[in-house]
Amino acid sequence: MHVELYKQKLALFRKLAEISEKLADFSADDLMAENGALADLEAFLEKRDGLIEKIDALDKQLVGLAGEPSRAVKPLKGSLVKIAEDIRKNDAKAELSVKDGLKQLRRQRRKIQEGKQSSRAYGPRGDVHEGVFVDKRR
């Protein structure tokens, strides 16, 4: 039973590794461009969350099992550790890309706000009509 659960967990980890590689491939420029990359990122993150929930459920099953795992589990655990390290590295790359994308968005927003402010300062101030003062005393 232990071996089967670890095999299932390994398969889920491999899928998670594929998704983390795809997430790591996103650059800050991709996220800034309006080509649907942001929607793809959200879809990958949702898939990732689903896989993590499944892995957590398997972990709970493994904790609930009685008895000592067999020797066949040891290589599976080693593979899990290697894949987990790859996932951590890819997640760190993806996190940097997202942070860079957010920084670029903030800079772009600031430039737009400054542009609007300067256009208000130098632009026409509403409708300015010439007025005539009529002195009634004379």
63, part of any domain: yes
Average pLDDT score over the chain: 85
23, part of any domain: yes
Instruction: Read off the pLDDT of residues 21-36 as tens digits, 9 standing for 90 and up.
Output: 988 888 877 777 777 7
Confidence of residue 120 (pLDDT cuts 50, 70, 90): confident
At residue 134, the pLDDT reads: 80
128, part of any domain: no
Structure tokens given for 87: 């996932």
At residue 127, the pLDDT reads: 58
Contacts of 28 (CB under 8 A, 6+ apart): 97, 98, 100, 101, 103, 104
At residue 80, the pLDDT reads: 93
* Verdict on whether the full-model pTM lies above 0.85: no
Among 15-19, 31-35, 65-69, 99-103, the range with the most confident prediction by mean pLDDT is 15-19
Structure tokens given for 19: 């998704």
138, part of any domain: no
Sign of CA dihedral 89, 92, 98, 99: negative
CA angle, 103 then 21 then 25, to 5°: 40
- Residue with structure tokens 């400054």? 114
89, part of any domain: yes
Structure tokens given for 66: 């009685």
127, part of any domain: no
Q: Is the pLDDT reported for residue 124 higher than 70?
A: no
Q: At 13, give phi and psi (nearest 5°).
A: -65, -40
Contact 16, 48 (CB under 8 A): yes
The residue segments making up the domain with residue 13 are: 2-120
129, part of any domain: no
Instruction: Read off the pLDDT of residues 34-86 as tens digits, 9 standing for 90 and up.
Output: 777 778 888 999 999 999 999 999 989 888 876 777 788 889 889 999 999 99
CATH of the domain at 99: 1.20.58
Please state the domain count of the chain.
1
Which one has a higher pLDDT value, 118 or 21? 21
130, part of any domain: no
Instruction: Read off the pLDDT of residues 2-12 as tens digits, 9 standing for 90 and up.
Output: 888 889 999 99
At residue 78, the pLDDT reads: 92
Report which of 113, 15, 22, 18 is spatially closest to residue 30, judged by C-alpha positions: 22
Helix (H) or strand (E) holding 133: none
